């Protein structure tokens, strides 16, 4: 009779061990998934900050009134000024597929950026004009 109690105790311990292993495996898979999500979000925020820096860098550069499309670049990003009709212009900054825009106007041959003119979506009806050349 003592032998049967020992086997049932051993079976209970093994059952608890198996259940604990399954729970820990599930938690580990959740941790891996969440870790990948956080890493992707971190990369996305870093890319957004890089493109915002590029847009600001492009804003303080000196741009001439000709040619219609002018580009400047660094090893990290590329910024282009596209002149539109009616004395308007659009500054386009991009890196790895992410683009940001800043509206400007051309007054007396000088490019002046609008104080609240930045956008994270294409501000023009024709989306082809919002792409980096």
Residue 2 pLDDT? 53
Residue 5 pLDDT? 63
CA 113 to chain centroid: 24
What's the pTM?
A: 0.72
Domain that holds residue 68: 2-130
Percent of the chain with pLDDT over 70: 96
Total count of domains within the chain: 1
The answer to whether residues 116 and 102 touch, using CB atoms and an 8 Å cutoff, is no
The answer to whether residues 66 and 42 touch, using CB atoms and an 8 Å cutoff, is no
Helix (H) or strand (E) holding 6, with range, is helix 2-60
Q: What does the DSSP 8-state code read for residue 130?
A: G
Question: How does pLDDT run along the chain (133 residues), one tens digit per residue?
Answer: 455 567 888 888 999 999 999 999 999 999 999 999 999 999 999 999 999 999 999 999 988 877 889 999 888 888 999 998 888 999 999 887 889 999 999 888 888 999 888 888 888 888 888 888 8
């Amino acid at each position: 009779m003592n032998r049967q109690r020992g086997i049932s105790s051993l079976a209970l311990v093994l059952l608890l061990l198996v259940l604990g292993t399954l729970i820990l495996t599930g938690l580990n898979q959740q941790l891996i998934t969440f870790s990948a999500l956080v890493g992707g979000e971190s990369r996305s925020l870093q890319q957004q900050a890089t493109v915002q820096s590029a847009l600001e860098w492009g804003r303080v550069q000196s741009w001439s009134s000709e040619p219609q499309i002018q580009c400047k670049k660094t090893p990290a990003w590329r910024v282009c000024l596209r002149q539109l009709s009616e004395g308007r212009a659009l500054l386009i900054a991009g890196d790895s597929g992410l683009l940001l825009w800043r509206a400007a106007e051309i007054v007396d041959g000088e490019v002046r950026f609008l104080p609240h003119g930045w956008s994270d979506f294409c501000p023009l009806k024709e989306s082809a004009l919002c792409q980096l050349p």
